[in-house]
Structures are given as structure tokens and as C-alpha cells.
């Protein structure tokens, strides 16, 4: 993708979120718009705290409850993907709110979204072998990212 295509895609994500929120009891304050914008455009899978810190840099009066509530509503509308972890450090992907594989660094906690061609095939095989009707999947790969490998 070119940079302009990526910019368009991020604007589309924000537009999609706003469209879904229309008709919901959701007053679009500047703070909430900032939260949506951060989630729609960030590729680093922020935590609630990360979103909170970023929005506070622009709107210092924002409460963490507003961040929690906005994310909960987006989750309900399937407009953000929640990656839950046993230690409670949940991460959020508003850029790609549908199931996709993640590469997770166990040291620095960086999470990447590579395009993996064989995911559809994997789902197909899962259906064939189990007879399940699949609703979603979760596919996490854990290891050390290139930066952490260099640090040893
Ligand atoms: Zn790392
Ligand atoms: Mn992702």
C-alpha cells in the first residue's frame, strides 16, 4: 500500500466507526472523537492506558472512564478488536476490527499485523475437520521481534 492509500484507509475506518455510532446514544465530544481517531489509525495495538495518555496530551481533562466506555461501545459494535491477555493487559486494534493473525513480542510486547495468505485455508481446514460453523478465530504467534533479538 502507498502512504496515500494508508491515509485513505484510516479515514475510512474513522468514517465507519462514526457511521456505526450514529443512532446510538453517543454524544460526539472532541475527546471522544480523539479516542476514535487514535483507535482508527494506530497500528501498535494500544492499551486503554496508552489511548488515555495520548488523548490526555490534547485534552487534559479527559477521564479514563470515558476511554473505557468508548472502547466498550466500539467493541459491542464490532468496531474494535480486543486482544485479551491473561495478565489483564488488553490491547486494542481499531484499524483492523476483524480477526487476523498477530505476531507478539514476548519481551517488548510489540504486536504486528502481517498479511498471512494461508489463514483462509486454515479456517477451511478447521471447518472440514470439526464441522463447526466458525464465527471468529484468534491466532497469536509469540516470540522475539528483530529489535529484541539484536539486543540479545
Ligand atoms: Zn520486541
Ligand atoms: Mn491487529
The helix/strand/coil state of 103 is: strand
Residue 91 parent element (H or E): strand 91-93
Q: Which three cell numbers stand for residue 72?
A: 466498550
- The alpha carbon of 101 and the centre of ligand 2 are apart by a number of angstroms equal to 7
- Confidence (pLDDT) at 88: 82
Class of domain 3-93: mainly alpha
DSSP state of 59: -
Assigned CATH for 102-151 = 3.30.1490.190
As a whole number of angstroms, the distance between CA 61 and CA 64 comes to 10
Residue 142 parent element (H or E): strand 140-143
- The alpha carbon of 110 and the centre of ligand 1 are apart by a number of angstroms equal to 6
pLDDT at 87 over 90: no
- Angle CA(140)–CA(144)–CA(146) in degrees, nearest 5? 120
Q: Which ligand is nearest to the CA of 105?
A: 1
Q: Which ligand is nearest to the CA of 43?
A: 2
The domain locations on the chain are: 3-93, 102-151
- The alpha carbon of 95 and the centre of ligand 1 are apart by a number of angstroms equal to 21
Q: Which ligand is nearest to the CA of 144?
A: 1
As a whole number of angstroms, the distance between CA 114 and CA 133 comes to 25
List the strands of the sheet with 102-105, edge to edge. 111-112, 102-105, 140-143
Model confidence pLDDT, tens digit, residues 38-54: 999 999 999 999 999 99
- The alpha carbon of 102 and the centre of ligand 1 are apart by a number of angstroms equal to 13
pLDDT at 112 over 90: yes
Which residues does 118 contact at the CB level (< 8 Å), separation at least 6? Answer: none
- The alpha carbon of 59 and the centre of ligand 2 are apart by a number of angstroms equal to 26
pLDDT at 136 over 80: yes
Q: Which ligand is nearest to the CA of 100?
A: 2
As a whole number of angstroms, the distance between CA 102 and CA 83 comes to 10
Cut 0.85: pTM above it? yes
Q: Which ligand is nearest to the CA of 110?
A: 1
Q: Which ligand is nearest to the CA of 145?
A: 1
Amino acid at each position: 500500500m502507498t502512504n496515500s492509500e494508508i491515509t485513505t484507509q484510516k479515514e475510512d475506518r474513522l468514517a465507519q466507526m462514526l457511521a456505526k455510532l450514529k443512532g446510538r446514544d453517543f454524544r460526539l465530544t472532541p475527546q471522544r472523537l480523539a479516542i476514535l481517531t487514535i483507535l482508527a489509525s494506530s497500528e501498535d495495538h494500544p492499551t486503554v492506558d496508552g489511548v488515555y495518555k495520548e488523548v490526555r496530551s490534547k485534552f487534559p481533562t479527559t477521564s479514563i472512564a470515558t476511554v473505557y466506555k468508548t472502547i466498550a461501545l466500539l467493541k459491542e459494535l464490532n468496531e474494535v478488536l480486543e486482544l485479551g491477555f491473561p495478565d489483564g493487559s488488553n490491547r486494542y486494534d481499531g484499524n483492523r476490527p476483524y480477526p487476523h493473525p498477530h505476531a507478539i513480542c514476548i519481551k517488548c510486547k510489540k504486536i504486528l499485523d502481517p498479511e498471512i495468505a494461508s489463514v483462509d485455508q486454515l479456517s477451511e481446514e478447521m471447518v472440514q475437520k470439526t464441522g463447526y460453523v466458525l464465527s471468529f478465530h484468534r491466532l497469536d504467534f509469540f516470540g522475539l521481534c528483530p529489535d529484541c533479538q539484536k539486543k540479545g
